[in-house]
Structure 1
Amino acid sequence: MNLEIDHYADAVLVSVDDSRIDASVAIQFKDSMRALTSGGPKRVILNMEKVDFLDSSGLGAVVAAMKQLDANQTLELAGLTENVAKVFRLTRLDAVFTIHQNASDAVAGLADV
């Protein structure tokens, strides 16, 4: 599981550099997210533009990543592909997460660190 991170003054952008978040990488994804976001800025933006497949384990890992954030942090999603967006709609988790069209929209107006 490859995750790339970009820091901004008020946010961190975590980009998934794999096409799948499924049972084979769910635990690694959750652990990596914890390590990258612990004690970080208020906004954590997960860029999923390269993810074309998300199974129930992957969905659970994304929810777990949200739940393990500090109380003052939020997890936002960006760049959902059609297949992944459909999973969030079907499970009604699109109402739980702030979802941005793409990473550029999510970080618009934020200053680089």
Structure 2
Amino acid sequence: MKFSIEREDQYTILAVDEEKLDSTLSPQVKSELVTLQNEGVANVILNLEKVKYIDSSGLSALLVGNRIFTETGSFVLCGVSEHVMKLIKISQLDKVLDILPTVEESVDTVFMNALKRGLEEEGGLEE
């Protein structure tokens, strides 16, 4: 699988450089996400700009990332193509996943989520 990782202090961007996120690639994506979590990364932005097709196993990889990172940080998707977004909506995962158009907006969301978590931990923000 072709991908790139950009590590910053507060977040890591994992960019999938493949056109298909299907059963041949999704185990590698899941593995990379688990590795990032084990390394102590709290916030992941998954850049899907190059992905044009996703199947159920690819959607499963997105859910794995969402589950393991939203417990302690943020998991944000960005650069989602129209076709991939259609499949996410059909699966009703758009109600579960944090999806933004650009990397920049995703980074802003990561920082906002961190601020919100900090306030909640201090007891200063009621739900």
TM bracket, shorter-chain basis: 0.7 to 0.9
The aligned residue for residue 72 of structure 1 is 72
Structure holding more helix per residue: 2
Structure number, greater radius of gyration: 2
CA distance in 2, matches of 1:106, 1:67: 17
Stretches of 4+ moved more than 3 A in 1? none
CA distance in 2, matches of 1:57, 1:109: 26
RMSD: 2.2
Q: Is there any run of 5+ residues in structure 1 with no aligned partner, and where?
A: none
| Higher relative contact order, chain-length normalized (CA < 8 Å, sep 6+) | 1
For normalisation by structure 1, the TM-score amounts to 0.84
Q: How does 1:1-16 map to 2 (within 5 A)?
A: 1-16=1-16
The aligned residue for residue 82 of structure 1 is 82
For normalisation by structure 2, the TM-score amounts to 0.76
The aligned residue for residue 117 of structure 2 is none
The aligned residue for residue 95 of structure 1 is 95
% identity of equivalent residues: 29
Q: What per-residue deviation string (whole Å, max 9, x for no partner) do you get for residues 16-39 of structure 1? A: 111111011121221122113331
